[in-house]
Structure 1
Amino acid sequence: MQNQTKSMLPNFFLCKFVPARLLCIEQTFYLAPHRLFFKMWFSMLACVCLLFAFMWRLWAVLPKSSSKPRRHSTSPCKTCIVLGSGGHTTEMIALIRNLDDHQYAPRTYVIADTDSLSEVKARQLEQERSGVEHKDYFILRIPRLREVGQSLSSVPFSVVKALLGSFKILSNMPDLIICNGPGSCISICMVAYLPRLLGIKHIRIVYVESFARVKSLSVTGRLLYPVVDNFLVQWPELLETYPRAIYNGTLV
């Protein structure tokens, strides 16, 4: 009789507990889609909140109007100068030729890695200032945003490469960035906004539109017009369409 009772125990547990476990598993599979939906909904809500916070912060740090130049300071201003190629470099050299060597120092010249002529012109300028080559400047090379004749399919990779390379400018954390139109200054200005967004430092950005732009802005100018601190043009006709711009006559 005792053996018969023992033999019945497994059947008893099988009948009493296995259906409950199966029911538990069935409920788990039934609830899984709802839990997955909740997690997806929560993740989407978190992303939306982060995006909203980022957009609000970006709006807060964007210049509302072309800000006035700051009061003259006796402390040196670490200056980053973006040199393009050809006409961009020629105009930039003319713009910065009369900069005070002690006030705007050290100077970092940002040049595309495939541009050898701009480096030669930058070194010549530094040597012409006092008859000897200054040591208070640096040459920084970054990938070019887009090469002439480059296929459109490879442009996204070049943009990412240029953006990552532009982070080099933060190693010296400049106080001022001066640019005048080369495509590489777009990635540099994007990187320069990172310390501003994080509340670390406000890197001032000054953009000077090319002398050749009389009635319309360049592509780079149109992209950077809303975000730079000072946007200088060299023709008064542009003020009608771009009221944030500053006209101080011909600069080159």
Structure 2
Amino acid sequence: MGLASLWPVHSCKTFVLACLTAIIALAIFISARHAQIVNRRRSVRWPKPPRRDGPPIRGQSPEYYLFVLGSGGHTKEMLMMMDDGFCNFSSFHRRYVISSGDHMSDHHLEDYETQLARLCRTNKASAGSYDKRIVARARRVHQPIWTTPVTSLLSILDIFPILLSPPKNEVGGRLRYPTQIFSNGPATGFFVGLAAHVLKLFYIVPEDSMRFIYIESWARISTLSLTGKLLYYTRVADAFYVQHEHVAVKYGLVNAGEMVFNSRRPEA
């Protein structure tokens, strides 16, 4: 009778010990794997983006890029950086991630894609294809810090399917995952980068896919934004660019110059 009463206690201790062992093993694996990926990233020297004086040379292979849009001017800035004034988007798919409730970004995106399609028709070229996905907002302006983990988790749960579901067209038939991901400061950008990093940590996607490229907002002239600092210290981004020399020197980053002004020439 005495031994029988001790059995639940013994089982509970064994279970707790097994859980602790599993947690420690998982922590060691994640730490080692993170260090491995970061070291490989450091070995890759990303060039300073050139100022384009002519049409970009694009190969015939398909391309699939994902762009993180955000309120507060981030979307407009991202679209201006994308807008180089040329059309050569055959077999090129653009996926946009927009936070829920961000109707302004949705409006700017549709306006941009309409103008791009018009420009490409004028030049008898292909504008490629695009789609957009909505995710839960990671953090709203003035949102209490203590509620942020919950909304951030909801955002990440929305992000994983977006990263893993290919476009429903010819490009998606050849490319299952985004080749490159771009962000320039919205909070959602950090969680997109984190989600891509987690997928690589656990060997769910290849390391050479979902290259996360962060371009700090042009408005950050002396220090990094909160999103930039999170990416800088976690080393989640594959490439990290800033647009001002002072910030580049301060953090040891690549100064890409004022990319926000790399916009389309006004149409005649």
Instruction: Find the residue that maps to 1:106 and give its secondary structure.
Output: strand
**Correspondence for 2:210:** 203
Cα deviation, residue 106, structure 1 = 0.6
CA–CA separation in structure 1 for the residues paired with 2:158 and 2:254: 31
Instruction: Find the residue that maps to 1:85 and give its secondary structure.
Output: coil
**Correspondence for 1:18:** none
Q: Do the aligned partners of residues 69 and 117 (structure 1) sit closer, same or farther apart at CA in structure 2, a change above 3 Å counting?
A: same
**Correspondence for 2:79:** 93
List per-residue Cα deviations over 1:45-89 (Å, max 9, x = no partner). 22211211122112212254273349x754122110111113211
**Correspondence for 2:149:** 156
Alignment of structure 1 residues 178-193 onto 2, 5 Å: 178-193=182-197
**Structure 1: stretches of 5+ with no match in the other structure:** 1-24
Cα deviation, residue 35, structure 1 = 5.2
For the 8 Å contact 1:177–1:203, the answer to whether it is kept is yes
List per-residue Cα deviations over 1:86-121 (Å, max 9, x = no partner). 321121011101276527821011111211121121
> Larger radius of gyration, structure 1 or 2?
1
Alignment of structure 1 residues 35-54 onto 2, 5 Å: 36-54=12-30
Cα deviation, residue 146, structure 1 = 1.6
1:107 aligns with 2:107: no
Identical amino acids, percent of aligned pairs: 28
For the 8 Å contact 2:60–2:91, the answer to whether it is kept is no
Instruction: Find the residue that maps to 1:237 and give its secondary structure.
Output: helix
1:250 to 250, 254, 258: 258
List per-residue Cα deviations over 1:3-60 (Å, max 9, x = no partner). xxxxxxxxxxxxxxxxxxxxxx223445664554344323312221121112211221
1:236 aligns with 2:245: yes
Amino acid at match of 2:32: W
Q: Do the aligned partners of residues 205 and 100 (structure 1) sit closer, same or farther apart at CA in structure 2, a change above 3 Å counting?
A: farther
Q: Do the aligned partners of residues 73 and 58 (structure 1) sit closer, same or farther apart at CA in structure 2, a change above 3 Å counting?
A: farther
For the 8 Å contact 1:78–1:176, the answer to whether it is kept is yes
- How many residues are paired up? 226
Instruction: Find the residue that maps to 1:231 and give its secondary structure.
Output: strand
Cα deviation, residue 169, structure 1 = 1.8
Cα deviation, residue 210, structure 1 = 1.0
CA–CA separation in structure 2 for the residues paired with 1:36 and 1:126: 59
For the 8 Å contact 2:214–2:237, the answer to whether it is kept is yes
CA–CA separation in structure 2 for the residues paired with 1:248 and 1:109: 23
**Correspondence for 1:14:** none
**Correspondence for 2:64:** 78
Cα deviation, residue 125, structure 1 = 1.5
1:177 aligns with 2:181: yes
CA–CA separation in structure 2 for the residues paired with 1:104 and 1:79: 11
TM-score (norm 2): 0.75
For the 8 Å contact 1:76–1:102, the answer to whether it is kept is no
Amino acid at match of 2:153: V
**Correspondence for 1:6:** none
**Correspondence for 2:51:** none
**Correspondence for 2:220:** 213
CA–CA separation in structure 1 for the residues paired with 2:104 and 2:34: 37
1:140 aligns with 2:133: yes
For the 8 Å contact 1:181–1:208, the answer to whether it is kept is yes
- Superposition RMSD in Å: 2.5
Q: Do the aligned partners of residues 183 and 66 (structure 1) sit closer, same or farther apart at CA in structure 2, a change above 3 Å counting?
A: farther
**Structure 2: stretches of 5+ with no match in the other structure:** 48-57, 121-126, 167-176, 261-268
1:67 aligns with 2:44: yes
